[in-house]
Structure 1
Amino acid sequence: MGAFDMMNIAGSGLSMHQTWLDTLSYNIANVNTVRATSENAFQAQYLMAQAQDGASGVRVSGIAQGDPEGRLVYQPDHPLADEEGYVRMPDIDLGSQMSQLIMAQRGFQAQSSVIKNAQDVYQSALSIGRNA
């Protein structure tokens, strides 16, 4: 393992966690998006991550889309309701999204700490070399 591999691995994790946080924020912001039953529901985004090919670390391999069917909710007073009183809502579990948000935040913090510690170690090594 090279001198800067730790920073590269942590950097890839930091990038992946940032993308995960972005997708979760997008889902949470749209959890109450209402559409007419003739339209597709808001589609949640789900991060797909995998190990980097031929290198250490992780990368975002794609963003999967949620179910366009969503769920039908009876809201006869809503302006988008059909003649039977239904609207289409996204099929997003807010509790699951919030739990994942906490995991993504913790992962981001952990990767940030690794990078900070690696920088401190490299800085100490450089100062030792200057004093010799």
Structure 2
Amino acid sequence: MSFLQSLNISGSGLTAQKLRMDVISENIANIDSTRTETGGPYRRKMIVLSSTGDFKKMLVKNLNSSEINLGVEVTDIVEDQSDFKLVYNPEHPDADENGYVSMPNVDSLKETVDMMEAYRAYQANITALNTTKQMAVKALEIGR
């Protein structure tokens, strides 16, 4: 695996985690949105990540193959289909005939934990990127 391949893997991880943090931020921003363009309350969004290559095949087949692209990509952004929270507030403009308002299915604690996880994954990718850079610099110093 080349140095550039390692940089591409870390870069794809950084891009994916940045999008994940953006989606989490959108969820937190809409935690009280009871009316959306589709008419109902806001639904929590989540991203689906998948590998862009098969690491095992790369190891078995050819360690120097440049055609195998490894990394991670966002394959989809899905909406959480869990039930909305019902809150009794008969004076709310979106209350039903019984006085209940359907609130978004966004849990601030869950979003905070997801954000911390995405941040740690982002940090890990930066560490891998910096380590690869340091290895390249050391390899160039050997050639002096």
The 4+ residue runs of structure 1 with deviation greater than 3 A are none
Q: Secondary structure at the match of 2:139?
A: helix
Aligned pairs for 1:1-132 within 5 A: 1-35=1-35, 39-53=39-53, 54-67=68-81, 70-129=84-143, 132=144
Distance 2:138 2:34 in 1: 55
Q: 1:39 to 1:69 in 2, by over 3 A?
A: farther
The normalised TM-score by structure 1 is 0.84
Residue 101 of structure 1, CA deviation: 0.7
**Any conservation in 2 of the 1:35–1:89 contact (CA below 8 Å)?**
no
Length, aligned pairs only: 129
Residue pair 1:12, 1:59 contacting (<8 A) in 2 also? yes
For structure 2, the 5+ residue unaligned runs are 54-67
SS class of match (2:74)? strand
Tell me which moved more, 71-80 or 89-98: 71-80
Uncovered stretches (5+) of structure 1, i.e. residues with no partner: none
The one-letter code sitting in structure 2 at the alignment partner of 1:14 is L
For 1:30, the aligned partner's letter is N
Aligned AA for 1:55? N
Counterpart of 2:3 in 1: which secondary structure?
coil
Is the 2:34–2:40 contact (alpha carbons within 8 Å) kept by the matching residues of 1? no
Q: CA deviation at 1:12?
A: 0.9
The Cα shift of 1:68 comes to 8.5
Cα deviations by residue, 1:28-85 (Å, 9 ceiling, x for unpaired): 111121239x932202111001010452111100100123862332111223323432
Cα distance between partner residues in 2 of 1:115 and 1:2? 13
TM normalised by structure 2 equals 0.78
Query: Matches of 2:82 and 2:125 in 1, distance apart?
Result: 34
